[in-house]
Amino acid sequence: MKNNVYVKTILFLILFQIDFFPQGSWEAIKSPTEQCLRTVHFVDSLYGWVAGDSGIVFHSSDGGINWVNQDSKTNNNIYSLFFLNRELGWAAAWEVTNYPFGTELLRTTDGGENWIKPPQPEADIFISCILFNDSMNGWMGGRPHALLKTTDGGISWKQADIDSSAFAHFPVHDIKFYDSKFGYASGGVFEYAGVMWRTTNGGDYWYAIDPVSAPIDPIWQIHIYDSTNVIGVGGDFEFFGVGLIRTSDGGLNWTYEYISMNGVAFDIDFRTDYEAWSTLGFERKFIYSLDSGLSWNSIETADSSIIYDITFPDSLHGFGVGRDGAILKYKFPIINSSGSIKDFVSPDYKLQQNYPNPFNPVTKIKYSIEEDGFIKLAVYNLLGQEVAIIVNEHQNAGSYEFELNAEGFPSGIYIYILETFNFKASRKMMLLR
């Protein structure tokens, strides 16, 4: 009984932090270069690397306060960087001026103090992403099409087996694995189509998205919630803006939507299970979500920086890099001495936190609206699936309270969303049986 109370207390504190702490902000930190930085990787809150044009690599062992220049042994632009731990890392540069053209692969076993050039992939392949599951097994993706696997630490690489669908051999922009069996990759060609791949056997065979469900834009980066739930980001520069692709059945079916924000999302990373960040590059903006990607807001980047790549090594630390040597660092939100915190909802429209919370199985939800209009109050699970509609009708301006009976719902975190023609707000609640 005592242990059960302890678990409930911890879960309540976690939920309190999720619901009431505002999103953080970003600050520009001193950069060691004015060269374009294209990739950043931190293995923990202290140890990280940035890399970019002309083969530059810089290493920090104090969370970005100081940076040490490392000799990468190349003058070519580095487009991808990955470290498995504080010692073992890989990088990919593009040779585009001297024959043979293609990827110049780099490897270090001492944290970048020394970089070596192992045997290179075949010519005319340009690698844009690297991922290692352990010291021996790794993946690379690139263009015009490359989905390569190594089982010997990068000494040799073999092209993966892929099905023969129409988009199967498009460029690969990102590769992620949930575990040793389940993995996903994303890619595509601008102004033609995007593509997603999935594997259920550790990459021995990959299946491409059905062309009927394929997005019209490339998918640049993906995030895996679990083996069946995945989100990817992309978009259209000219007309439609940021696009998101999702699956909730392990990649058998995908849905693609635009979120009414200008720009293209080049990267996505989650600070927590619920707070996501994505960079819009030339728009000089971040977009962020506080409800696992269901809804999004935008903020300007620090110093109006053009940011290409971001990473969160843990929930308190984040870094982004981009043009002109820009390095941004995430600032965790702090409550002031009076205990006040930012209110996310409009003063004229308010969606209150349900009470009690956590609950079992009945809770109450209160809200107020400023104008007469059509109101929808609905409950969603973390997959974005609507599980209950509480209100779906025209209402007069005023305050309202409704009861939700979640009998039959599985335990877990749910999101309830209030929508009118000009307002939308969401909060989380926990059903704890």
Same domain flag for 283 and 418: no
Of the pLDDT bands very low, low, confident and very high (cuts 50, 70, 90), residue 333 is: low
Per-residue pLDDT tens for 237-257? 888 999 999 999 999 999 999
Per-residue pLDDT tens for 195-253? 999 999 999 999 999 888 899 999 999 999 988 899 999 999 888 999 999 999 999 99
User: What domain range is 200 assigned to?
Assistant: 23-331
Residue 18 lies in a domain: no
Least confident of 14-28, 171-185, 264-278, 376-390: 14-28
Q: What is the mean pLDDT of the chain?
A: 88
Contact (CB, 8 A) for 76 and 62: no
38 CB contacts (<8 Å, ≥6 apart)?
Answer: 51, 52, 53, 77, 78, 79, 308, 309, 321
Closest C-alpha to 252, from 288, 232, 228? 228
Residue 324 lies in a domain: yes
- Look at 411 and 186; give whichever has higher pLDDT: 186
Percentage of the chain lying above the pLDDT 90 cut:
64
300 CB contacts (<8 Å, ≥6 apart)?
Answer: 284, 285
Same domain flag for 412 and 268: no
Query: Which run of H or E residues covers position 149?
Result: strand 146-150
> Would you state the structure tokens that stand for residue 205, as one six-digit string?
């065979």
User: According to the per-residue pLDDT averaged within each range, which of 176-190, 320-334, 365-379 is highest?
Assistant: 176-190
Average pLDDT over residues 320-333: 92
Among residues 307, 331, 355, the one where a domain terminates is: 331
d(CA 389, CA 385): 11
Same domain flag for 181 and 152: yes
Residue 339 lies in a domain: no
Contact (CB, 8 A) for 361 and 431: yes
Same domain flag for 392 and 417: yes
> Residue 21's CB: how many other CB atoms inside 10 A?
17
Same domain flag for 40 and 185: yes
Q: Does the pLDDT value for residue 344 go beyond 50?
A: no
Q: Does the pLDDT value for residue 429 go beyond 60?
A: yes
The pLDDT of residue 140? 96
Same domain flag for 175 and 261: yes
Same domain flag for 313 and 354: no
Among residues 306, 331, 356, the one where a domain terminates is: 331
Average pLDDT over residues 265-274: 92
Task: Name the pTM for this structure.
Answer: 0.74
Of the pLDDT bands very low, low, confident and very high (cuts 50, 70, 90), residue 370 is: confident
Phi, psi of 387 (to 5 degrees): -110, -15
Contact (CB, 8 A) for 245 and 232: yes
Average pLDDT over residues 281-290: 94
> Residue 56's CB: how many other CB atoms inside 10 A?
23
The pLDDT of residue 349? 64
Q: Does the pLDDT value for residue 115 go beyond 90?
A: yes
In one-letter notation, the amino acid at residue 4 is N
CATH code of the domain in which 165 resides: 2.130.10.10
Residue 337 lies in a domain: no
Same domain flag for 241 and 374: no
Residue 167 lies in a domain: yes
Q: Does the pLDDT value for residue 191 go beyond 70?
A: yes
Q: Does the pLDDT value for residue 10 go beyond 80?
A: no
Among residues 310, 331, 352, the one where a domain terminates is: 331
Same domain flag for 219 and 145: yes
Q: Does the pLDDT value for residue 421 go beyond 80?
A: no
CATH code of the domain in which 362 resides: 2.60.40.2550
Q: Pairing state of beta strands 230-236 and 219-224? A: antiparallel
Q: Does the pLDDT value for residue 36 go beyond 90?
A: yes
Same domain flag for 121 and 209: yes
Same domain flag for 420 and 319: no
Same domain flag for 141 and 258: yes
In one-letter notation, the amino acid at residue 167 is F
Number of domains within the chain: 2
Closest C-alpha to 248, from 286, 292, 278, 280? 292
- Look at 5 and 202; give whichever has higher pLDDT: 202
Q: Does the pLDDT value for residue 423 go beyond 80?
A: no
The pLDDT of residue 369? 87
Q: Does the pLDDT value for residue 132 go beyond 50?
A: yes
The pLDDT of residue 244? 96
The pLDDT of residue 259? 93
Residue 114 lies in a domain: yes
Contact (CB, 8 A) for 348 and 56: no
Residue 16 lies in a domain: no
Closest C-alpha to 221, from 307, 108, 122? 307
Q: Does the pLDDT value for residue 275 go beyond 50?
A: yes
Residue 336 lies in a domain: no
